[in-house]
């Protein structure tokens, strides 16, 4: 995504959630240094060509964090005919591994169960790790443990080698990634949480507002119509989407 197109949405997110632009840039800049020449990252570094190879023209299964409670074996569903590329959204990596599937891609800001993400990465999952204002310590502590392949992303103006494909949460960022690199169809599974059911108190309200923002971005992406988007909840393909 052209950052000039994404920037107004990004600035609105910063203002709505009172995110610190300085903290956002600090995480971005650290990840730029870590993944750049001489940055010391010892794992395998991937590039945009790897994303194009995986996603161009593909059918993509995007697995959200609700996948662990899906009642059917996710990867035996009759909707999944033909070859599919699997993108796990952060903690959904654990659900994929539990079903015997190593995702092709992991989109993560490192708030899932990271030993499983490291294991999947060791077994070949390409990790797109995202820098934002409150995960700098996680990046510093955990990135050195990933053996690769790894790409970096950010929400602010991207500096090489980082990408900015748009998106807010891991779930809608994964769909933006699929669109940006030419997937033709996306099926989203495990996106079951509704904004009105996000818990009580300040944290519940914050979660609800984040879900609403993610929902708005997903609707905008659907409206563009550059790839077919369907939502799956257990055994039923949903007419009314539910978002992560």
Q: What is the pLDDT of residue 30?
A: 96
Q: What is the pLDDT of residue 240?
A: 39
pTM: 0.89
Is residue 59 within a helix (H) or strand (E), and if so which, with residue range? Answer: strand 59-63
Question: CA of 5: how far to CAs of 91, 158, 182, 211, 222, in Å?
Answer: 29, 13, 18, 22, 16
Bond before 243 cis per omega within 30 degrees: no
Q: Show the domains of the chain with their CATH numbers.
A: 3-238 (3.40.50)
Q: Are 189 and 234 in contact (CB under 8 A)?
A: no
Q: What angle do CA 174, 179, 180 make, to 5 degrees?
A: 95
Reading the block at residue 127, the tokens are 């990790």
Beta bridge partners of 89: 107
What is the pairing mode between strands 185-189 and 85-89? Answer: unpaired
Phi-psi region of 177 (alpha: psi -120 to 50; beta: other; left: phi over 0): alpha
- pLDDT tens-digit map of 128-143: 999 999 999 999 999 9
**Distance (Å, whole) CA 117 – CA 122:** 8
**Which has the closest alpha carbon to 61: 187, 222, 177, 235?**
187
- Spell out where 161-222 has E strands: 185-189
- pLDDT tens-digit map of 161-174: 999 999 999 999 99
- pLDDT tens-digit map of 2-46: 889 899 999 999 999 999 999 999 999 999 999 988 887 878 889
Look at residue 235 and give its three-state secondary structure: coil
Q: What is the pLDDT of residue 72?
A: 46
Q: What is the pLDDT of residue 241?
A: 40
């Amino acid at each position: 995504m052209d950052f000039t197109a994404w920037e107004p949405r990004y600035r609105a997110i910063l203002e709505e959630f009172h995110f610190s632009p300085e903290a956002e840039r600090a995480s971005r800049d650290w990840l730029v240094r870590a993944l750049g020449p001489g940055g010391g990252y010892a794992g395998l570094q991937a590039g945009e060509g790897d994303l194009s190879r995986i996603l161009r023209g593909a059918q993509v299964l995007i697995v959200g964090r609700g996948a662990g409670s899906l009642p059917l074996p996710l990867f035996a569903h009759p909707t999944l005919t033909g070859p599919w590329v699997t993108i796990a959204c952060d903690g959904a990596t654990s659900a994929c591994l539990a079903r015997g599937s190593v995702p092709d891609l992991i989109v993560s800001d490192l708030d899932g169960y990271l030993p499983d993400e490291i294991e999947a990465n060791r077994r070949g999952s390409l990790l797109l790790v995202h820098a934002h204002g409150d995960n700098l310590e996680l990046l510093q502590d955990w990135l050195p443990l990933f053996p690769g392949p790894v790409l970096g992303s950010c929400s602010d103006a991207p500096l090489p080698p980082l990408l900015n494909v748009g998106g807010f949460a891991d779930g809608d960022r994964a769909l933006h990634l699929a669109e940006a690199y030419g997937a033709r169809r996306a099926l989203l599974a495990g996106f079951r949480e509704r904004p009105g059911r996000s818990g009580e108190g300040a944290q519940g309200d914050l979660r609800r507002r984040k879900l609403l923002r993610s929902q708005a971005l997903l609707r905008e992406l659907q409206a563009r119509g550059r790839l077919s988007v369907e939502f799956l909840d257990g055994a039923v393909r949903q007419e009314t989407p539910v978002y992560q």
